[in-house]
Amino acid sequence: MNLPAIWWSEKKRQPFAAGQVTQAMALRLFLINGQTITMLNAVRSGKLNTKSASMTENSVNIVCGFPLATGGVEDNLSLLRQGIETHSGGWLVTLNTEMLARTVREPEYRKLLEKADAFIADGMPLVWASRFSRHAATPIAERTTGVDLVEALLRQPDIPPFAIIGGIDPQVTLKQYPGAAAACQYLYDGRVDLSDTQADEFATAIRAAKIPLVFLALGVPKQDKLALQLKTRLPGVWLLGVGGTFEILGPQGSRAPQWMQRSGLEWLYRFLQEPTRLWKRYFVHYPAGIYLLLQDHFKSQHKGT
């Protein structure tokens, strides 16, 4: 069975079939089908070996050209834990509307994201879009934000060793979760300049401590740029950009009520908390991301007729 997914061509800016995936484009995808979680590795020979794993049409849902895992928070947490245990390593992106909007303004940013290994949906607009997608039969079960994933991991009785790069006093947040401070084997909350020298220093420290998971709390696009730098230096380590997660989970942070989160209104809650800082993000930049989702929907509808 051919892989029921399409990728985005960096050169032609067009979707193309799995059999056309080149070595430079190959992705490692998270495939979730009910209780079965499978990781498919793109082979280095220049084509994807679609016979190397059991695949179904329910594996991923393609939204705006990005293959999003269809599971919920618990599925994605289990998937991440499995990746840590097997030392497979990779760059996991929690894709949201802000990031989609940036890909419209900055084509180079899309090319950067396409180098990631796996994607999960951080945002209700992406979840809603998956329910109308013709690329896959299974819609995304629920959104999985960086905050959701980090908090779920920190609540585990056996937290794996991890590192944090960035954030504002993340150690204060860690103290709220039993065992989290001890599990944090490396913490750097100073200035990140994205230089090769600094990336080498990060990689050396993380490698020496045998840390399998790194949280990059730097915001977009800096955390994505650093993820790409570290990905080549730390092939067995999982990298996850989490933005301001540790501030949100901290003593002074707060999240929207569950009904607002389920309704896709967490952005409104955040805006009301910090209107001066966030008005431009939500009312100037976000519409481009929504437009991209609508454009993707109508294109898929047209192809399906």
Residues 255-267: pLDDT tens digits?
888 888 888 888 8
Give the whole-angstrom CA distance, residue 71 versus residue 33. 8
pLDDT of 137 reads 59
Q: Give the residues of the chain that fall short of pLDDT 70.
A: 1-58, 133-137, 300-305
pLDDT of 6 reads 29
Q: Which two tokens stand for residue 179?
A: 């065992």
pLDDT of 134 reads 61
By the 8 A CB rule, do 32 and 261 touch? Answer: no
By the 8 A CB rule, do 120 and 92 touch? Answer: yes
Start-to-end CA distance of the chain, whole Å, equals 23
By the 8 A CB rule, do 163 and 206 touch? Answer: yes
The reply to whether omega before 221 is within 30° of 0 (cis) is yes
By the 8 A CB rule, do 122 and 96 touch? Answer: yes
DSSP state of 283: I
DSSP E strand boundaries for 72-183:
90-95, 118-121, 162-166
pLDDT of 261 reads 86
Task: With CA atoms as reference, report the closest residue to 110 among 118, 121, 99, 120.
Answer: 99
* Residue 149, phi then psi, degrees to nearest 5: -70, -45
* Residue 123, phi then psi, degrees to nearest 5: 145, 135
Cα→Cα distances 158→11, 96, 154, 183, Å: 44, 29, 9, 9
Contacts of 258 (CB under 8 A, 6+ apart): none
Amino acid at the residue 29: L
SS3 assignment, position 181: helix
Contacts of 204 (CB under 8 A, 6+ apart): none
Give the whole-angstrom CA distance, residue 82 versus residue 71. 14
pLDDT in tens, 10-68: 333 333 333 333 333 333 444 333 222 333 333 233 333 222 232 233 378 899 999 99
Cα 130 to chain centroid, rounded:
16
Tabulate helix, strand, coil % of the chain (nearest 5): 45, 15, 40
pLDDT of 133 reads 64
